[in-house]
Amino acid sequence: MPDLDPALTDELTETALALADAARPETLRWFRSDALSADNKEEAGFDPVTQADRDAEAAMRRVLAERRPSDAILGEEYGHSSGSTCLTWVLDPVDGTRAFLAGAPTWGVLIAVGDAAGPSIGVIDQPYIGERFVGAGGRAWSVGPQGQRALATRAPRPLAEATLLTTFPEVGEPDERAAFQAVARQARLTRYGLDCYAYALVAAGQVDLVIEAGLQAYDIQGPMAVVQAAGGIVSDWRGNPAHEGGRVIAAANARIHAEALALLRDVQ
């Protein structure tokens, strides 16, 4: 995670929280609404986008235009906007649009800011629950129904005692699915369908692993910054940087990361 000047970290953290504040009402206007509908971005499958996605990203971009107009932006819905600083804001206005459409509160607003080396600050915000997870300046915390709490990932324990999460049972391509199942067979408990909230649970010390494939930068950079600030490790399946997406593993600690990675890294 790239280091930033403390004063700049404070400014960027305040901006990230302002982005989350701006996105919340835009998503809640549509969540569980009879007026909610979706367009499909994928001819051969179902990759939904809703007006909530568009409205929330537009609201966040307006905040950045006021507060940080010289920074670049990468957003899922409106693409890349160049900047004159080394910083890029990475935005996913509704991560988990399928959950959003189903009325399940496991979707979230994802925000990150960093440079080419990866994110320095990240936010996972769940507007309906009113729960926000933040990683910045080497520390992580949540704010929600139980107040503000420091976040810390779980202490080491064997994979045989671990809880593993992923979004889709059909993880990635067939070879990726086989690698995931090799880990799942050894884990004590495997659960599906939590989208970005799974990474928040790693940061909060509730679960040990999230393993996914086919991610984009905007899917992982916000969660990555939160998990790392809480003491976890996020990498690709070979232990390399994961901030550009692809095959990703988020682990509570180095021991469980190494044990899972040994089962994943042979995938071509």
Q: What angle do CA 223, 51, 29 make, to 5 degrees?
A: 85
Helix (H, G, I), strand (E, B) or coil at 163: strand
Instruction: Write phi, then psi, for 47 (nearest 5 degrees).
Output: -125, 90
- Residue 267: what pLDDT? 74
At residue 43 the predicted structure's pLDDT band, cuts being 50, 70 and 90, is: low
Q: What's the pLDDT tens digit per position in 102-161?
A: 999 999 999 999 999 999 999 999 999 999 999 999 999 999 999 999 999 999 999 999
Q: What is the pLDDT of residue 8?
A: 96
Task: Mark out the alpha helices in the chain (DSSP H runs).
Answer: 6-28, 51-67, 97-102, 174-186, 197-203, 217-229, 254-264
C-alpha–C-alpha distance, residues 265 and 199, integer Å: 21
Give pLDDT tens digits for 213-234. 999 999 999 999 999 999 999 9
